[in-house]
Amino acid sequence: MLKKIVSVCLAACLVCAGCALAEEGSFVSYHSDFSAGTDGWYARSAGGAAVSVTEEGLKITGRTASWNSPGRDFPLQAGKEYALSVRVRQESQATANFMISVAHSKAGTESYENLATGAAKKGEWTTVAGTWTPGEYDNYILYVETAGSDTLDFTIADFTVELNEVRLGQDDPSLKEAFAPWFLLGTAVTQGEALNTQRMDAYSYHFGIYTPGNELKPDSVLDVAASMRLVKEDDTAVAVRFDAAKPLLSYCRDHGLPVHGHVLVWHSQTPEAFFHKGYKASAEYVSRETMLARLDNYIRQIMAFMDQNYPGLIVSWDVVNEAIDDSTGQLRQSNWTKVVGDDFVERAFEIARKYAPKDVKLYYNDYNTPIAPKTDGILALLARLTAEGNIDGYGFQAHYSATSPAPSRIRAAMEQVEALGLRVRISELDVTIDGNTELNLKVQAIRYADLFKIFMEHAEHLDAVQLWGVSDDLSWRASQYPLLFDRLLKPKPAFHSVLELAKAE
């Protein structure tokens, strides 16, 4: 009986160790039940462990460490999403925890990731499964190991690797094209999504401008350890890094897609050490002058990096995020007010204007805009910023429920911002529901259509409308199903409601 191996390829296949594998760059799927041999699997150990074929599958014995495992080389493609699964069985203890893991190397340096986990009861076959998107490495070894210090013998069967096809309502008209007469339609994505080029290709069918969800926030960009070394000579020195943001920036650069930068200054997701002497969180706060100098160095280096590496890619920035308190409408108290003072927002915009390219628009971004007393506080801050001449627009967050706030209040708040002469971007849009029921999905669809109708009415003032995520499973509000696509990337009724609205106009 021939072993069950499926290897679908776009190019000619190679014959290696008696089995068919696709050439690198064309690997699509693999499955083996080990009925005809080890199929290229071997024991990963420092010596002593061995694999053998049994009637049930591939068994490993003689393990002396949890990483000792059956492993195999695979010609995976970076940026592609794979579904992985294996059945495992052990006869040694009540329960044992198993993992599908990968050892990958680049330029001779090996590193590791755990990709999927599962608990196998004694004597029972258990499936361990998950998905994974490889990064850029020279080679990949997939293997099955135990967690903790377990060194028991075990058997694997039906190891499967399959390239996932990522589609996102691409049988329907494109959302970005449908709304092109009114505004740019975009979304926010995370580093994990950006690494998955299949997913990004699907996203780009519907969305034409992108915001990194977390990767340009201060806790991703500020390199505290490197800054700590630099301040031994100059306490205003700042070190920055962009590893987390590069996947999205590079994809958008390579595909001609603009990016909105989020965010330069925020009270949250900013390392505490940024505000303290020597970059030590336990030390005293620095002076106002030192903090302003650090902020100047921070923003200058960000703008310089973008200009040198991604010129013209970032078309706008959220300079300051969420500086107004919800309950009082006054300036939110934070490390920025403690160290710099109540004018930290104005000074941040002044610095950003100094270093940003002339055609890059600068935004203040906040939520609950239609809800008093925050409305008045936001408008007062925008008026001060407008008077200084360093702001271009307002990021009108729209994290709403299916019933609140009322459309009339949203319209009124938008009109008040527009009256200041500022551009508007709907910067973070999602609509929550209480459960994934047919009725709730219909209510959500109506709400989305009502919101988009408002946005279309104000299109002459809008630079963009951006969803805060693409699919429900990856949303920060995942339990409330807030987006246009479900967990399987299928269009929801809300998707069709806004599409029909655009077609009807």
pLDDT, tens only, 398-416: 999 999 999 999 999 999 9
Residue 473 has which token pair? 């499973």
Closest C-alpha among 419, 407, 503, 384 to residue 454: 407
What percent of the chain lies above the pLDDT cut of 90? 86
- Of 194 and 29, the structure prediction assigns the larger pLDDT to 194
Q: What pLDDT score was predicted for residue 26?
A: 57
Q: 250: which residues sit within 8 A by CB, 6+ positions away?
A: none
For the chain, what is the radius of gyration of the CA atoms?
27
pLDDT, tens only, 333-349: 999 999 999 999 999 99
Q: Do domains 13-163 and 166-184+398-406+418-505 have the same CATH topology?
A: no
Kindly indicate the confidence band of residue 324, based on its pLDDT and cuts at 50, 70 and 90.
Answer: very high
Q: What pLDDT score was predicted for residue 28?
A: 80
Q: Which amino acid is at 222?
A: L
Per domain, the residue ranges of the chain are: 13-163, 166-184+398-406+418-505, 208-365+373-391
Kindly indicate the confidence band of residue 1, based on its pLDDT and cuts at 50, 70 and 90.
Answer: very low
What span, in angstroms and rounded, lies between the C-alpha atoms of 279 and 282?
Answer: 9
Q: 196: which residues sit within 8 A by CB, 6+ positions away?
A: 79, 80, 81, 133, 166
pLDDT, tens only, 257-289: 999 999 999 999 999 999 999 999 999 999 999
CA torsion sign for 51, 34, 134, 269 is: negative
What span, in angstroms and rounded, lies between the C-alpha atoms of 94 and 96?
Answer: 7
For the segment(s) 166-184+398-406+418-505, the CATH number from 3.20.20.80, 3.20.20.70, 3.40.50.720, 3.90.1150.10 is 3.20.20.80
Q: What pLDDT score was predicted for residue 494?
A: 98
Query: Which of 24-28, 31-35, 194-198, 259-263 is least confident?
Result: 24-28
Span 175-196, average pLDDT:
96
Q: What is the mean pLDDT of the chain?
A: 92
- Pairing of β 393-396 and β 423-432: parallel
The answer to whether the beta carbons of residues 265 and 319 sit under 8 Å apart is yes
pLDDT, tens only, 34-78: 998 999 999 999 989 999 999 999 999 999 999 999 999 999 988
Q: Is the pLDDT reported for residue 440 higher than 80?
A: yes
CA torsion sign for 311, 315, 321, 323 is: positive
Q: Is the pLDDT reported for residue 12 higher than 80?
A: no
Strand partners, 210: 187, 259
Q: What's the whole-model pTM score?
A: 0.79
Q: Does domain 13-163 have CATH number 2.60.120.260?
A: yes
For the segment(s) 208-365+373-391, the CATH number from 3.40.50.2000, 3.30.1330.10, 1.20.1050.10, 3.20.20.80 is 3.20.20.80
Q: What pLDDT score was predicted for residue 47?
A: 86
The answer to whether the beta carbons of residues 161 and 30 sit under 8 Å apart is yes
End-to-end CA, the chain: 62
Query: Which of 65-79, 344-358, 388-402, 440-454 is least confident?
Result: 65-79
Q: Which residues are catalytic?
A: 322, 428
Q: What pLDDT score was predicted for residue 505?
A: 78
Q: Is the pLDDT reported for residue 27 higher than 90?
A: no
User: Could you tell me the CA-to-CA distances from 294 to 39, 52, 158, 385 in Å, in that order?
Assistant: 58, 61, 56, 21
What span, in angstroms and rounded, lies between the C-alpha atoms of 82 and 132?
Answer: 5
Residues in the chain: 505
Q: What angle do CA 87, 92, 93 make, to 5 degrees?
A: 95
Residue 416 has which token pair? 């008040």
Question: Coil, helix or strand for 218?
Answer: helix
Q: What pLDDT score was predicted for residue 7?
A: 34
Q: Is the pLDDT reported for residue 290 higher than 80?
A: yes
Question: Which one-letter DSSP state was computed for residue 311?
Answer: T
Q: What pLDDT score was predicted for residue 279?
A: 97
Which parts of 310-373 fold into alpha helices (H)? 335-339, 344-355
What span, in angstroms and rounded, lies between the C-alpha atoms of 304 and 310?
Answer: 10
Closest C-alpha among 257, 340, 348 to residue 302: 348
